[in-house]
A and B are shown apart, each in its own frame.
Chain A
């Protein structure tokens, strides 16, 4: 049985299911005559709840840090909230009801207020109100909150987990979290991320799954119950890989990208959207060598506005702080089509109207993007890179447009920085003219995928040609050397952002050629870093 949900923290977990038992919290309405004594019962239970939370705060502080423990402190304050307390005591006194009922009813009505807010974060806070209320009710009715009843570690499955419930669990017994409800903003999600435990939400698991074998696959967002042995074996292999990767991460995350003999190289990440940035930072990259701006256009049903683009670029720049972020301008056409651009069907799109060719004939579209990029540059360390260049005249025209944009922004009093400007080297023409092109720009980044297909005259999407599509072709390696030499002669730094950059069988050769930077997918960073650190160029 396989269920698909949403992953809030990636990873693989294999083990038995434990369905979390919240205990029976059915609350009965009982008529009370001595209301003063009932109010006192409530006050005592509230104080006991606060004492429990204070202890949990200390536990959480040690286990998950101050940031996440703070919620326990908030809960204590919520218990003392006069609106909450007065509603409960008022109800006990005027309706002559038991404390359990008054707390439950008040908790529900306050939870409703949060649930109806138009803000996902605040919506998720209704769980906090329910959580403090059920804590008080549990104390009033003399019950203990649920725990894990198992000796071996388990995959914890629940309807939803309240923050106090997740904190009081024994972490060494949890392999993963699976919940039916909850959101990416829920505490389960936040804690799962902090504790590095895979977690899925939105899984409609069957009621009778307690004790069964299961697999959580965070990457796919799947929860597999009673998997066949072959699948378990497969996942054990994946799990080993994951553990290996984690070990690498710990060892290599903050290490420098330098060879044994002291040659250093910049190792950056390629990303396709703002959402990938946390993975870049987690993966240990020291910058972004290729930020593909296409997603803004592909996800939109019309031209994205300057503001929309500005917000996205600014977010990335701010998240990366002073680390370099190379943003590539619009690269659509060929295999990446966008309806509203209304591009004519082409016989040979890979060699057609695409990327910079569109931008230079559609200055309105191009300038909107450049304005957004320059404005965002004030918030971090942005470099701008232009794709599909074949001649000097293009670069000269691009720089003229950049100057126009900057002087417009100056006259409008808008802030910007002087950005480094670079070009993709992905056509044989650009390789032959590397030195000349380099005089106009600050850096090169080699797009090996397109460069290979144009150099070998092989359509990279034609599966029938896979056997002769050789990314290590000597012609290509010779070109890479020409690019580095031409770039260095004209004072540029030179990097690779194509897939070949992550090919560790070539890392040593790239270093020997003189490349200054490699930009690879976030998941490849540590593998490449490990290779770099094992190379000795003096031998």
Chain B
């Protein structure tokens, strides 16, 4: 299992649109991907769960990747976060 941490820079936080893009990006990989805001943990491939975390600017999120292609997935998602959020 691989875990990455990232502090959200987008002033709007993970609002609907980037949540959709994040879920899409995660769904491209076969491994299990979870996203946590420190208190709650959700399946990163399910948009309502990701949105319900209500992640705001400045919040540190952690994401875990477990299973097939976990290395590729974590690298791709880390790059996505850096670029979009």
By a beta-carbon cutoff of 8 Å, the part of chain A in contact with chain B is 70-71, 73-74, 77-78, 81-84, 110, 113-114, 117-119, 121-122, 125, 128-129
Contact = CB atoms under 8 A, between A and B. Distances in A.
B34 interface: no
Contacts, number: 51
A83 B12 contact: no
B51 A122 contact: yes
A71 B48 contact: no
Nearest to B49: A83
B54 A74 contact: no
A348 B58 CA distance: 49
A506 B48 CA distance: 59
A84 B16 contact: no
Nearest to A121: B15
B49 A70 contact: no
Contacts of B43: 82-83
A73 B54 contact: no
Contacts of B54: 117-119, 122
Interface in B21-37: 23-24
B46 A125 contact: no
A121 B12 contact: yes
A113 B40 CA distance: 14
A415 B18 CA distance: 30
A81 B46 contact: yes
Contact of A77 (B13, B15, B47, B52): B47
Contacts of A73: 20
A129 B15 contact: no
Nearest to B14: A122
B9 interface: no
Contacts of B13: 119, 121
A78 B48 contact: yes
Contacts of A82: 43, 45-46
B46 to A, nearest CB: 5
A114 B52 contact: yes
B6 to A, nearest CB: 19
Interface residues of B, number: 19
Given A70-B20, A74-B17, A77-B20, A119 B56 contact: yes
B48 A129 contact: yes
Interface in B42-71: 43, 45-49, 51-52, 54, 56
A78 B16 CA distance: 10
Contact of A83 (B20, B48, B56): B48
A74 B12 contact: no
A267 B51 CA distance: 43
Contacts of B17: 70-71, 74
A113 B52 contact: yes
B24 to A, nearest CB: 7
Nearest to A76: B20
A333 B23 CA distance: 55
Contacts of B15: 121-122
8 contacts: A70-B17, A71-B16, A74-B20, A77-B23, A81-B48, A114-B51, A119-B13, A119-B56
Contacts of B20: 70, 73-74, 77
B79 to A, nearest CB: 21
Nearest to B15: A121
Contact of B47 (A81, A117, A118, A122): A81
Report, nearest first, the 6 A-B pairs whose CB atoms are least far apart.
Answer: A74-B20, A81-B48, A77-B47, A74-B16, A117-B54, A122-B54
B45 A125 contact: no
A77 B24 contact: yes
Contacts of B19: 74
Given A74-B17, A117-B54, A122-B54, A84 B12 contact: no
A110 B16 contact: no
Contacts of A70: 16-17, 20
Contacts of A83: 43, 46, 48-49
Contacts of B46: 81-83
Greatest chain B CB density within 10 A among A83, A110, A113 is at A83
B24 A125 contact: no
B59 to A, nearest CB: 11
A113 B20 CA distance: 18
Contacts of B16: 70-71, 74, 125, 128
Contacts of A78: 47-48
